[in-house]
Structure 1
Amino acid sequence: MESAIDKHLKCPRTLSRRVDDDYQPPFPMFVGRADPKLEQVVMAYLGVQFLPVHHAIAVQAMQKIVAQFAGDDAPGNHDITYHEDNQGYGNFIVVGYWADPAAYCRWLRSPAVESWWASDERLSEHLGYFREVVAPRAEQFETLYAFTDDLPGVGAVMDGISGEIQEHGYWGSARDRFPVSQTDRMRPDASLQVISGDPAKGGRVLVRGHDNLTLIRSGQDWVEAGEEERALYFQEMLPPLQDGMDFLRDQGQALGCYSNRFVRNVDLDGNLLDIAYDIGHWRSLDRLERWAESHPTHLRIFTTFFRVIGGLSKLRLYHEVSVSDGRNQLFEYINCHAQTGMLRDAQPLPA
């Protein structure tokens, strides 16, 4: 059995794990493996926000963002999602992953991309746009998969997959999978702050993040699942999952959840696919852990998962969690409503 932390990322521990060295997990799980040359990844969430009446032009805008991924500096993996938020707005999010931050920077600064996002036309299209980008170092993210092929998300820009790993199936195991957790408690150093613009007025707004802001992507893929597994997902797993995601979306602020979106993958025309995932931004990994370990909404999700895991073969479950340095984050909003993403919790600059 392997450690979730790859050999080249191991170092002498100053902080202990939650379990002893002889711990045996209750079922097999795996993590993504990357070449030691991978030092940092970029996770870019590029959004289009719209009222239902503007659905057609929102699809065109989403397609434009995807088209910008052409060329040598394109992300190594991307997907597209849709969700309706609690303000009644639809949101397409194009999610791109780069294993080379320099390629991402070249893409971001390319004339076609830079001029399109900066254009005044973005302010007069009856649409909102946002860019939420984090770039964790290799030691600042962890993955977990119940399968070993066709990894989604950040796993698709890593080189391979581990054997069965030890650090899962217990509270605190996500933290133990972070290489940085060997020596760092990953505490936040500040709060979200508006650095330009006014969320109440719309227009362009920039938000400054902070060290160790935490992002979780937790997914379910039932594309190849048979009727029995689909019934398990829709009848057993989805109801408590939906309740928990709605709770975090609507009431998570007091718990340290900045934003929670339960999204469905779509194709290039906006048609729903049989894949879904949660996108959660948190003040810290500690705040996420507290909800996971003690809140009834997550305990129902966790106990349901343990009850049905033995009956799953084609339903694909996974997650990835990252922290990042404040200097490696970008939160930009154009004509978005004031409850979007980091806007809700960002503090205005002092007068």
Structure 2
Amino acid sequence: MESAIDTHLQCPRTLSRRVPDDYRPPFPMWVARAGSGLQQVVMAYLGVQYGQDAQRPAAVAALRHIAGTFEGADGPVHHDLTDHVDDSGHHNLMAVGYWSDPAAFCRWLRSDEVKGWWDADERLADGLGYFREVVTPRADQFETLYAFQDDLPGVGSVMGEISGEISEHGYWGSMRDRIPQSQTDWLQADGNLTIVSGDPGNGGRVVVRGHDNIALIRSGQDWRAAGEEERSLYLDELLPPLEEGMDFLRDNGETLGCYSNRFVRSIDLDGNELDESYNIGHWRSLEHLERWAESHPTHLRIFVTFFRVVTGLEKLRLYHEVSVSDGREQIFEYVNCHPRTGMMRDARPPAGA
């Protein structure tokens, strides 16, 4: 049994864990590992939004274009493609990219192929919406958790290694305990979402400034390799309470400190659905996410169902990753998206504006 926090990220604790040192979890779980050379990662959610079915071919073409820009030397180490319907009935296609080198991401972002396309007048005139939501957490600002040990998705794909069985899971507060910075920091929110430019109500280009310690969770389910019994376990038992909880946060999250919640389905380059899904949630703080997870009925039903079936899982792959990030390491930009998209819903003009 080992700590979820890698040895080179451990330091003397000034804030204690939620369990005693002799705690032993009820089943095995693992975390991704990377050497000390990994200082920071980039998690980029790049979206194409449309409101009418007739726009889907153009939206899929735009998604293919974004994915095509990943193919150069400065593209992400890993990416996947998703689709979801938001609380306003709009489809959102996303290319989700992970970089292990922020400098490579900056070169990609500033390349003519990327910057020229994003800045072009055509983005304002082609009838589609676009957004990019990017966070760049340091190695001490994120954690992972997997019920399997190979072919890691998400940020695990850029880390390259897997731990032995870890002790910090299976109890309320373990998510926080796996984040290295939590050894000495409460990771509290600092500031509010602020509209830097544009007006969400008028469409066009809008830039939102974030704040320190926005929490981002990606929680995934992959049943591509599952047999009939495990597929039924997921689709009939795990999925119904999961969808209920995700829909609640999508529609009512602003009352709980959830800025944005998207339950997405993985797709291929042609827009066809794959047997994989995950939730993407932006929260005002880790504390707000924890409060929902520990006390809200919609999550308690998910949690109880997971604990009941987890020991029988073989091919059904469940995982999550959670990060916090500094406000200066965040990008939230929107083009012609409806005003409830992403961070725009809860962003306000600066004081005195």
TM-score interval for Structure 1 and Structure 2 normalised by the shorter chain: over 0.9
Partners of 1:63 and 1:85 lie apart in 2 by 21
Matched, 1:151 2:152: yes
Displaced runs of 4 or more, over 3 A: none
Matched, 1:217 2:218: yes
Equivalences for 1:66-215 in 2 at 5 Å? 66-215=67-216
Structure 1 residue 255: deviation in Å?
A: 0.4
Partners of 2:143 and 2:311 lie apart in 1 by 24
Structure 1 residue 71: deviation in Å?
A: 1.1
Q: Which residue of 2 aligns with 1:29?
A: 29
Structure 1 residue 111: deviation in Å?
A: 1.1
Q: Which residue of 1 aligns with 2:340?
A: 339
**What is the TM-score normalised by the length of structure 2?**
0.99
Structure 1 SS opposite 2:292: helix
Equivalences for 1:282-321 in 2 at 5 Å? 282-321=283-322
Partners of 1:112 and 1:305 lie apart in 2 by 44
Structure 2 SS opposite 1:217: strand
Partners of 2:302 and 2:113 lie apart in 1 by 43
- Percent identity between the two aligned chains: 70
Structure 1 residue 310: deviation in Å?
A: 1.8
Q: Which residue of 2 aligns with 1:267?
A: 268
List alignment gaps of at least 5 residues for structure 1: none
Q: Residue 106 of structure 2 aligns to which amino acid in structure 1? A: C
Structure 1 residue 70: deviation in Å?
A: 1.5
Structure 1 residue 231: deviation in Å?
A: 0.6
Q: Which residue of 2 aligns with 1:12?
A: 12
Q: Residue 348 of structure 1 aligns to which amino acid in structure 2? A: P
Q: Which residue of 2 aligns with 1:49?
A: 49
Q: Residue 247 of structure 1 aligns to which amino acid in structure 2? A: F
List alignment gaps of at least 5 residues for structure 2: none
Partners of 1:120 and 1:34 lie apart in 2 by 41
Structure 2 SS opposite 1:280: strand
Partners of 1:53 and 1:288 lie apart in 2 by 37
Q: Residue 276 of structure 1 aligns to which amino acid in structure 2? A: S
Q: Which residue of 2 aligns with 1:279?
A: 280
Structure 2 SS opposite 1:69: helix
RMSD: 0.5
Q: Residue 21 of structure 2 aligns to which amino acid in structure 1? A: D
Structure 2 SS opposite 1:68: helix
Structure 1 residue 210: deviation in Å?
A: 0.2
Partners of 1:314 and 1:99 lie apart in 2 by 28
Q: Residue 198 of structure 2 aligns to which amino acid in structure 1? A: G
Structure 1 residue 100: deviation in Å?
A: 0.4
Partners of 2:42 and 2:313 lie apart in 1 by 31
**What is the TM-score normalised by the length of structure 1?**
0.99
Structure 1 residue 159: deviation in Å?
A: 2.1
